[in-house]
Structure 1
């Protein structure tokens, strides 16, 4: 077979390799998600609710103490279940579509050359779109479980299945796919990260006069880290918008605060400003409180 199959089907398209890639990605993701879950809970809450007016000290340490005090150790691991459940289908869909698209984008007469940056971006974006559409309901549940401890006035979800059932019953398909538009916009993250990752590996291989598959673990780690950080910084605002749209349905019958992605962007910018919309990212990466004086004043006025 050529085109969609070709050498791709002969070299890397076997079912065993798909399962191997998906399993490896899911396993590594599960381990990482478990270790960083407390930080992920803090990040999501900051994205949705922002910082308290007049906050002082380390946001991470303060948040960890507050969550442990009010919700116990369990509060630090809210949202871990849907994250782990979503990992296998997430990586299975991603790797399958990504490799298939790479195979389709290869020239029929030359399978030895690396794909161009543009072709890699198309493959990564297509795989990201398929993954977002497939797993979005589970990420909605994750966001709501992580933030429901800050909404004492609503009936909490008891489990992942309970959350999926209630969202379907109370909000319908729209609730399960809340935040899907900024999620799709965020595909630019993987479209930046994976091509950058592969190009960095090729550069390192040429520099070290070796092949990509023989790069040292240190070189691979550097390429992975740099590409991830660069993509995260560039695309971070979409995460704030996505989290707020996914969470607002948990308020029950209250009128939605945001009418959609554009409305959310406008309101975040108007009420919190451009610099403040990036605060959560800097808190996570620099472990330092960043809160503009103007925002404190605005919050106090609204109260």
Structure 2
């Protein structure tokens, strides 16, 4: 480990191959999502417009205590199998696309004038590609996370949703997901790259730098895009709702209208605290894992 810490990883070929970036991204993605999954489950439940008082939570602590007491702590992990199946390939595509596009636009050139543009375009491009792959897995995950979900298997959930609602159910939220995650990723990658350059100008391997930069970047991006995440959750879980208006929602406009009608402005902040709480450590862990795996793979 000491030897690895001395590697000037920024001095290594910045585009050492898509295989390195994709493998590092896959390992980082699985690590990130698995560790923070219980908090993500709480976020999903807080965002759902529930008809039963038993499914309404006032905060993270309240949700954790009540879910653990009534359903058992294992309920907080329901749907993690879908994330593990999808996160590896999706993050591999994400980081592979990011590194390739950043290199193409000259983002790896020291002192390049278009570095900010390159990282923003690379981040947005990476999201478009990875979300196309991840969206169905995210739908399955959220269907399994909701209160009193009937599903215990990701495969059973996928089959049931497909049989009852068709292929469209897995992608009805994709435009909303892109509307949210393109700016999320552009903000995240830009803030991360700028903070990393500021905190680590020497370019030596620095875990502390990746933790701080990744955590702050994730927190900022997560908070800014929470309203769109509430809309995405409504669309992805509509098939599990007994509310006719929610079940008939057709896209972002319908979701926004329902949120505003039911809860006003505060409805768009549903799940804000667990979302930020999820993204700060998970993003820090993701970037730390990604940079570590990237440096380790290159070094060996």
TM-score range relative to shorter protein? 0.7 to 0.9
Aligned to 1:200: 195
Residue by residue over 1:209-258, the C-alpha shift from the partner in whole angstroms, topping out at 9 and shown as x without a partner, is x42x3163223222111111111111111110001100012348956242
Aligned to 2:103: 103
Query: Structure 2: 5+ residue runs without aligned partners?
Result: 1-12, 278-300
Report how many residues are paired: 262
1:271, CA displacement in angstroms? Answer: 2.0
Aligned to 2:250: 259
- Do the aligned partners of residues 248 and 142 (structure 1) sit closer, same or farther apart at CA in structure 2, a change above 3 Å counting? same
Aligned to 2:155: 161
Q: Is the 2:142–2:236 contact (alpha carbons within 8 Å) kept by the matching residues of 1?
A: yes
Aligned to 1:134: 133
Residue by residue over 1:177-236, the C-alpha shift from the partner in whole angstroms, topping out at 9 and shown as x without a partner, is 12111101012101100011101111223xxxx42x316322322211111111111111
Q: Is the 1:140–1:178 contact (alpha carbons within 8 Å) kept by the matching residues of 2?
A: no
Aligned to 2:49: 49
Q: Is the 1:93–1:130 contact (alpha carbons within 8 Å) kept by the matching residues of 2?
A: yes
Taking the aligned partners of 2:147 and 2:273, their CA distance within structure 1 comes to 24
Aligned to 1:68: 68
Aligned to 1:241: 231
Q: Secondary structure at the match of 1:93?
A: helix
Taking the aligned partners of 1:283 and 1:25, their CA distance within structure 2 comes to 21
- Do the aligned partners of residues 135 and 232 (structure 1) sit closer, same or farther apart at CA in structure 2, a change above 3 Å counting? same
**Higher RCO structure, 1 or 2 (CA under 8 Å, sep 6+):** 2
| More deviation, 14-23/222-231 | 14-23
| More deviation, 218-227/84-93 | 218-227
Aligned to 2:115: 116
The TM-score with structure 1 as length reference comes to: 0.76
Residue by residue over 1:147-184, the C-alpha shift from the partner in whole angstroms, topping out at 9 and shown as x without a partner, is 052x6xxxx22411111122222222201112111101
Taking the aligned partners of 2:103 and 2:34, their CA distance within structure 1 comes to 34
Aligned to 2:295: none
Taking the aligned partners of 1:55 and 1:171, their CA distance within structure 2 comes to 24
Aligned to 1:191: 186
Q: Is the 2:80–2:141 contact (alpha carbons within 8 Å) kept by the matching residues of 1?
A: yes
Taking the aligned partners of 2:51 and 2:151, their CA distance within structure 1 comes to 24
Residue by residue over 1:76-112, the C-alpha shift from the partner in whole angstroms, topping out at 9 and shown as x without a partner, is 21121111111111111101111111122128xx944
Match of 1:24 among 23, 27, 36: 27
Instruction: Return the index of the structure with the highest Cα Rg.
Output: 1
| More deviation, 47-56/182-191 | 47-56
Taking the aligned partners of 2:206 and 2:44, their CA distance within structure 1 comes to 34
| More deviation, 241-250/270-279 | 270-279
Taking the aligned partners of 1:158 and 1:55, their CA distance within structure 2 comes to 18
Query: Structure 1: 5+ residue runs without aligned partners?
Result: 1-9, 287-303
Taking the aligned partners of 2:50 and 2:116, their CA distance within structure 1 comes to 37
The TM-score with structure 2 as length reference comes to: 0.77
1:50, CA displacement in angstroms? Answer: 6.2
Q: Is the 2:39–2:274 contact (alpha carbons within 8 Å) kept by the matching residues of 1?
A: no
Residue by residue over 1:111-135, the C-alpha shift from the partner in whole angstroms, topping out at 9 and shown as x without a partner, is 4444521221111101101111111
